[in-house]
Amino acid sequence: MIREYHKTMTMRKTTAGLFFIVLFASFAVAALPLTGCRRREERRTTVRPTGVPGRFAVRFETMGTDAFIVVYAPDAARADSYVAPAIGAIENVDRLMSFYRQESDIGALNSSEAGTVVEVSEETYKVLKESVRMAGITGGAFDPTYTPLRDVWRRAQDEGTLPGGKQLDDALEKVGAEHIVLPEQNHVMFKTEGMLLDLGGIAKGYAVDRAIEELQLAGCSSALVDIGGYMAVLGRRGDQRKWRVEVRDPRGEVNEPYVLEVEDMAIATSGDYARYFTVGERRFSHIIDPRTGWPADSIPSVTVTAPDALTADALATALSVLDVGEGVELIDSLPGVEGMIMERKAPAEEEDEGIVIHYSEGFRRLLAP
Ligand code: AMP
Ligand code: MG
């Protein structure tokens, strides 16, 4: 059922660009001092006390962004034993699925010829299968084969002119989950020459899920994992209260950040204020609509909650592409999924973008009083 959503507001346009890069970090970021010049490895696997008894945190870089893990544990040694396998799992996801690593499964697939079956790891296979499923659920709004379109837009950015219809049409011929063949377990084949896969819209979420899994296996029952704004919480905090996760408004200086109170849940935020590119004067989202070939332009920010982070991550990308009506319908059709969709009524360049915020009913219930 499509519900009526509320809270309309108009926001002042801001000029800062870089400002938005830190937007989606949750509450703990500010509380974690950087570890200075300690060795990278040491920093990665060694937790720090946070000032809250029994609460430890580690901050590290992975998958091209900042990540951190917070755990409750009896002591630092135990906290380390929780966190180490979780970080290992995240790094393994990066190793297997990075678009930018030649030797990753995705690198191997992207350099394979159409019609050749490539063997991939169990994990990559699983995420690919989920990606194809998410492409189906979202009507192709989320689609890991969108990548040739990104190349067209990268060229447009370099040349400073918008791409022609022919360029986009040529790329669109290689886009669509139907070009991916999964002939048997752990085997993948590209159907169409020139196609390219990028799991950038889903892999961080999957990595968060893997980290939570490893934390649980290690005996941890209370944790928060965040990879660049894709996060999940395990259980409640050590004091048995729900986790409080801050979701910053992309135009944070205009609107107060809002806080969600959650347990055993994943939260993902996608937004064009965090990452974008320009062609000439025009600014475009890094999320591309695989149905039209054009960057998404009416949804500046989306936050999704879901039982797992892979789902939340893929849906956040999809909801950035879909129009609000489609997005709302999608959220309402999925059990355990809630969302906040920001809609821009006027072009991004205009002084008054006429931002309208839509909340699903369940999302409102997660907002801290
Ligand atoms: P997110 O970080 O979840 O906002 O997703 C953005 C990333 O997903 C981009 O940086 C691309 O790597 C990728 N991406 C962009 N558009 C799409 C799309 N329509 N479907 C799947 N992945 C996408
Ligand atoms: Mg995503």
Domains of the chain: 1-24+248-275+293-369 (3.10.520.10), 27-94+205-243 (no CATH), 105-190 (1.10.3980.10)
Residue with tokens 């309309």: 8
pLDDT at 258: 82
* Smallest CA separation from ligand 1 atom 3, residue: 201
CA distance 191 to 188: 10
pTM for the structure as a whole:
0.88
- Chain centroid to Cα 369, Å, comes to 26
Q: Candidates 310, 317, 319, 320: which one to mutate for ligand 1, based on the most atoms within 8 Å of Cβ? A: 317
pLDDT in tens, 47-63: 999 999 999 999 999 99
pLDDT at 188: 98
Report whether residue 293 contacts ligand 1, using a CB cutoff of 6 Å: no
Report whether residue 286 contacts ligand 1, using a CB cutoff of 6 Å: yes
pLDDT at 22: 29
Report whether residue 142 contacts ligand 1, using a CB cutoff of 6 Å: yes
Angle 231-99-21 (CA atoms, 0-180°, nearest 5)? Answer: 45
Q: Is the pLDDT of residue 152 over 60?
A: yes
Q: Candidates 180, 287, 322, 330: which one to mutate for ligand 1, based on the most atoms within 8 Å of Cβ? A: 287
Q: Is the pLDDT of residue 219 over 60?
A: yes
Q: Is the pLDDT of residue 17 over 60?
A: no
* 238 CA distance to ligand 1 middle (Å): 34
Q: Identify the CA nearest to 94 among candidates 187, 202, 204, 198.
A: 204
Q: Is the pLDDT of residue 125 over 80?
A: yes
CA distance 33 to 273: 25
Report whether residue 229 contacts ligand 1, using a CB cutoff of 6 Å: no
* 239 CA distance to ligand 2 middle (Å): 31
Instruction: Flag the least confident range among 156-160, 166-170, 249-253.
Output: 249-253
Ligand 1 atom closest to Cα of 321? Answer: 19
Residue type, 30: A
Report whether residue 59 contacts ligand 1, using a CB cutoff of 6 Å: no
Quick one: CA torsion of 135, 140, 144, 149, rounded to 10 degrees?
180
- Chain centroid to Cα 34, Å, comes to 23
Report whether residue 201 contacts ligand 1, using a CB cutoff of 6 Å: yes
Q: Which residue has the higher pLDDT, 34 or 75?
A: 75
Contact 313/202 with Cβ under 8 angstroms? yes
Q: Is the pLDDT of residue 209 over 60?
A: yes
**Token pair belonging to 310:** 């892979």
Q: Is 305 exposed, middle or buried (CB count within 10 Å of its CB: 0-12, 13-18, 19+)?
A: buried
pLDDT at 25: 33
Instruction: Flag the least confident range among 71-85, 134-148, 284-298.
Output: 284-298
**Token pair belonging to 48:** 């720090």
Rounded mean pLDDT, 105-124: 98
Confidence of residue 251 (pLDDT cuts 50, 70, 90): low
SS3 90: helix
Q: Is the pLDDT of residue 196 over 70?
A: yes
Q: Is the pLDDT of residue 309 over 50?
A: yes
* Smallest CA separation from ligand 1 atom 4, residue: 270
Looking at the CA of 146, name the nearest ligand.
1
Rounded mean pLDDT, 103-118: 98
* 77 CA distance to ligand 2 middle (Å): 34
pLDDT at 293: 97
In the chain, count of helices (H) and strands (E)?
10, 16
CA distance 102 to 110: 9
* 286 CA distance to ligand 1 middle (Å): 7
Report whether residue 249 contacts ligand 1, using a CB cutoff of 6 Å: no
CA distance 262 to 237: 10
Report whether residue 296 contacts ligand 1, using a CB cutoff of 6 Å: no
Interacting residues of 335 by C-beta distance below 8 A, sequence separation 6+: none
Radius of gyration, alpha carbons of the chain: 20
Parallel, antiparallel, or unpaired: how do β-strands 355-359 and 65-72 relate? unpaired
* Smallest CA separation from ligand 1 atom 2, residue: 201
Q: Is the pLDDT of residue 216 over 70?
A: yes
Report whether residue 78 contacts ligand 1, using a CB cutoff of 6 Å: no
Percentage above 90 pLDDT, the chain: 73
Q: Which residue has the higher pLDDT, 38 or 26?
A: 38
Confidence of residue 27 (pLDDT cuts 50, 70, 90): very low
Please give the mean pLDDT across all residues of the chain. Answer: 86
Q: Is the pLDDT of residue 41 over 70?
A: no
Q: Which residue has the higher pLDDT, 131 or 357?
A: 131
Rounded mean pLDDT, 312-332: 96
36: left (phi over 0), alpha (psi -120 to 50) or beta: left
pLDDT at 260: 96
pLDDT at 285: 87
**Token pair belonging to 137:** 């659920």
